């Protein structure tokens, strides 16, 4: 097995998808000749041609809207929205159509498509390139929302998304595109959507995170490990549907929970997780569920991005408070 980066793993997954199913198309801005602004589609246009790896006009509503039309007429589009901050023109198509088509056609015409979306901060990108608005979409019934935190996870989840009968938003943490290398199996493998991953096993406190914040939570957990506090670290991977079983079992086991996400606090996914834990594990809790999140402010330009995003220190401090409650 080769050690590769997340962006290479995604590219490899896309290549396999194109190879194995002639209905698969890739479409988006700069995904063809340029190989994607992050090189996630590098080499695919050369290999599969202009009719399968398609540079579209600059129009997100057009990209997702036509993808929906393609799904009902024989294709499986994997659309790319260049950055999460630019998904808003496509929200109409995603929310009013992709998410509801199965219901509205009573199962006849499901919108089986994948939308890949780089998201989150941490790379000093220009203004408005760093949104982490996953909970807008988790809130919408009918959509699936997943996000990997390692190269292997990225490939496995992507291939599961391509096979999934429902619309899947595949969120790619830009900060992790090239920061980690990992051995990734070469052939086709899938990581089932809806299953969380245990990153660390511990008895003392549950840490729940996803995407960009998994490495941050892991560092904090390692620090506490040295002091004899062992974290049960869960990488959700699948934000919708949630792996309720894993979350609840861990909360019951440790009785203490810290949730870490990059998005602003109010109505971030942490709120839903807290409610879930309260509903199912309240009597097991030794402390209120804590959240370490972005603040309730517009995602700042990069000069203040480190102050906005949760860091190891904030996670660590929250663990301290919850453990000593």
Partner 1 sequence: MIEQLRRDCIRHLSPDGTLTETGKEIWNRLDRDRKKNFFQWMTLVRHFDRRMILLQRQGRIGTYAPLEGQEAAQVGSALALQRKDWIFPSYREHGVAMIAGMPLSQILLYWMGRVEGCKAPEGVRIFPPSVPIATQIPHAVGAAWGFKLKKEDGVAVAYFGDGATSEGDFHEACNFAGVFQVPVILFCQNNGYAISVPFSRQSASKTVAEKAKSYDFPGIRVDGNDVLAVYDVMLQAIERARARKGPTLIEAVTYRKGPHTTADDATRYRPQAEVNEWVHQKDPLLRYTRLLKNEGLLTGKEEKEWEQTCKEKLDLAIIEAEKFPPAPPEHLFAHVYGNLPSNERKQRQELVQKRDRV
Ligand X SMILES: Cc1ncc(C[n+]2csc(CCOP(=O)(O)OP(=O)(O)O)c2C)c(N)n1
Query: Residue numbers of the site for ligand X (CB under 6 A)?
Result: 29, 58, 60, 82, 86, 89
Task: Answer yes or no: 129 catalytic.
Answer: yes
Nearer to partner 1, 89 or 194 (CB): 89
The helix-helix angle for 269-281 and 244-254 (nearest 10°) equals 60
Nearer to ligand X, 90 or 191 (CB): 90
121-124, Cβ contacts within 8 angstroms, sequence gap of 24 or more = 121/174, 121/175, 121/212, 121/262, 121/299, 121/302, 121/305, 121/308, 121/309, 122/174, 122/175, 122/212, 122/305, 122/309, 123/174, 123/175, 124/302, 124/305
| Residue at token pair 């051995």 | 183
> Catalytic one among 97, 129, 139, 280?
129
* Minimum gap (Å) between residue 93 Cβ and ligand X: 14
* Minimum gap (Å) between residue 77 Cβ and partner 1: 18
CA 227/CA 308 separation, integer angstroms: 27
Nearer to ligand X, 38 or 137 (CB): 38
CA 238/CA 104 separation, integer angstroms: 25
CA 218/CA 315 separation, integer angstroms: 10
| Binding partner of residue 57 among partner 1, ligand X, none, CB cut-off 5 to 8 Å per kind | partner 1
* Minimum gap (Å) between residue 3 Cβ and ligand X: 31
| Neighbour-count burial for 292-312, b at 16+ CB within 10 Å, e otherwise | bbbeeeebbebeebeebbbbb
Asked whether 156 and 191 are in contact (CB, 8 A), the reply is yes
| Binding partner of residue 109 among partner 1, ligand X, none, CB cut-off 5 to 8 Å per kind | none
* Minimum gap (Å) between residue 62 Cβ and ligand X: 11
| Binding partner of residue 108 among ligand X, partner 1, none, CB cut-off 5 to 8 Å per kind | none
Binding footprint of partner 1 on the chain (CB under 8 A): 29-30, 32-35, 37, 55, 57-59, 61-62, 85-86, 88-89, 124-129, 265-266, 295-298, 300-305, 307-308, 313-314, 317
Nearer to partner 1, 250 or 318 (CB): 318
Active site residues: 129
């Amino acid at each position: 097995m080769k050690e590769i980066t997340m962006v290479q793993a995604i590219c490899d997954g896309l290549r396999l998808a194109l190879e194995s199913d002639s209905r698969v198309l890739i479409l988006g801005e700069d995904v063809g000749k340029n190989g994607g602004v992050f090189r996630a589609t590098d080499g695919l246009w050369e290999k599969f041609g202009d009719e399968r790896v398609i540079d579209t006009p600059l129009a997100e509503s057009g990209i997702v809207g036509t993808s929906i039309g393609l799904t009902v007429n024989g294709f499986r589009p994997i659309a790319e929205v260049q950055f999460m901050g630019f998904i808003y023109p496509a929200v109409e198509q995603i929310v009013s159509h992709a998410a509801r088509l199965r219901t509205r056609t009573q199962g006849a015409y499901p919108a089986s498509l994948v939308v890949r979306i780089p998201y989150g901060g941490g790379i000093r990108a220009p203004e408005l390139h760093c949104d982490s608005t996953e909970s807008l979409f988790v809130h919408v019934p009918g959509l699936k929302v997943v996000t990997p935190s390692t190269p292997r996870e990225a490939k496995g989840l992507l291939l599961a998304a391509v096979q999934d009968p429902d619309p899947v938003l595949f969120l790619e943490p830009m900060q992790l595109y090239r920061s980690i290398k990992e051995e990734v199996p070469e052939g086709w493998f899938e990581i089932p959507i809806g299953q969380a991953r245990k990153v660390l096993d511990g008895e003392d406190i549950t840490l729940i995170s996803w995407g960009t914040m998994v490495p941050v939570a892991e560092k904090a957990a390692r620090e506490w490990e040295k002091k004899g506090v062992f974290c049960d670290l869960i990488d959700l991977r699948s934000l919708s549907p949630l792996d309720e079983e894993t979350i609840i079992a861990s909360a019951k086991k440790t009785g203490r929970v810290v949730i870490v996400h990059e998005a602003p606090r109010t109505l971030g996914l942490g709120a839903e997780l807290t409610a879930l834990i309260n509903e199912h594990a309240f009597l097991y809790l030794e402390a209120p569920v804590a959240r370490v999140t972005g603040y309730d402010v517009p995602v700042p330009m990069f000069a203040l991005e480190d102050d906005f995003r949760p860091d190891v220190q904030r996670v660590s401090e929250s663990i301290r408070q919850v453990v000593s409650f």
